[in-house]
Chain A
């Protein structure tokens, strides 16, 4: 079993708020120096960094639009600013553009696939080199219970998230022998800005009869990023109060 080097950086995309911010904080609490990536919410990213530093951790806010940028630049900046290579990548940045398929225009399809799937692939590809070199790495893709399960109005989102799970399995297979694990977490109904307009009836349909918290998703990511999860790869951990059961 390989162990995380003493200094290692975790890069979390879309970490200015919600699940991403909780993940950044959980990884920092586990000893990772964290690059808190954000696209537009600088204040949110600064708050995440401040919370990490207040708890005694190390973090920097890192601007970059994963859907339209150069991942190489993000990895370079994270390494320069935190002084170690990125050995954990959490592909969390995501968007929604909901609508029934019959009414969904190409733009809404493209933006969701581009951000939630293509960007995650490009980031993962960029992360492989330092991880393979280090013989240690953790990639965690934030998928969704939507994808494995239907959700009317989210054909684009479901396609992207199901694609993410397929990609997770194949890349996990490709790099397993180098000590690099690739897994996904699939949150169900989690209380964040993205789900604030979800009707109460949806919550009642969850076997646990409540929404999850970003911290509960972050705890799953923290486990998958840990040395303890070194033999766990290619899997999807559902954090959904039993929705997919």
Chain B
């Protein structure tokens, strides 16, 4: 498990994981919504597990339901770790 949960480190994890779900790298930005990226609830559940493995931050179903954009996800993880 990585020890850093800086915005940059979390962004790297999220940006690195999204292509596994079929997202084009060029479409990824902080403002992109998961809906637009065609990232569904199972993808988000898997993304949560990757984040937990990398940063030790556990996201629950209710947390995941609230996030809309890539930036929301990154901010939530960074805030949780703080």
State the A residues within 8 Å of B (CB): 129, 132-133, 174-175, 177-178
Shortest Cβ gap from B5 to chain A (Å): 21
Answer yes or no: B42 CB below 8 A from chain A CBs.
yes
B49 and A174 contact, CB distance less than 8 A: no
B interface secondary structure, majority: helix
B49 and A129 contact, CB distance less than 8 A: yes
A175 and B42 contact, CB distance less than 8 A: yes
B49 and A177 contact, CB distance less than 8 A: no
Shortest Cβ gap from A105 to chain B (Å): 35
Which B residues, 29 to 51, have Cβ-Cβ distances below 8 Å to chain A?
42, 46, 49
Shortest Cβ gap from B78 to chain A (Å): 24
Q: How many residues of B contact A (CB 8 A)?
A: 3
Closest to B49 in A: A129
State the B residues within 8 Å of A (CB): 42, 46, 49
Q: A178 CA to B49 CA in the complex, in Å? A: 15
* CB neighbours of A175 from chain B (8 A): 42
* CB neighbours of B49 from chain A (8 A): 129, 132-133
Closest to B41 in A: A174
Closest to A177 in B: B42
Q: A132 CA to B49 CA in the complex, in Å? A: 10
Q: A175 CA to B40 CA in the complex, in Å? A: 11
Shortest Cβ gap from B24 to chain A (Å): 18
A-B pairs, top 6 by smallest CB distance, nearest first, are: A132-B46, A129-B49, A174-B42, A175-B42, A177-B42, A178-B42
Shortest Cβ gap from B12 to chain A (Å): 19
Q: A108 CA to B42 CA in the complex, in Å? A: 36
Shortest Cβ gap from A227 to chain B (Å): 22
Q: A129 CA to B42 CA in the complex, in Å? A: 11
Shortest Cβ gap from A108 to chain B (Å): 33
Closest to A174 in B: B42
Closest to B50 in A: A133
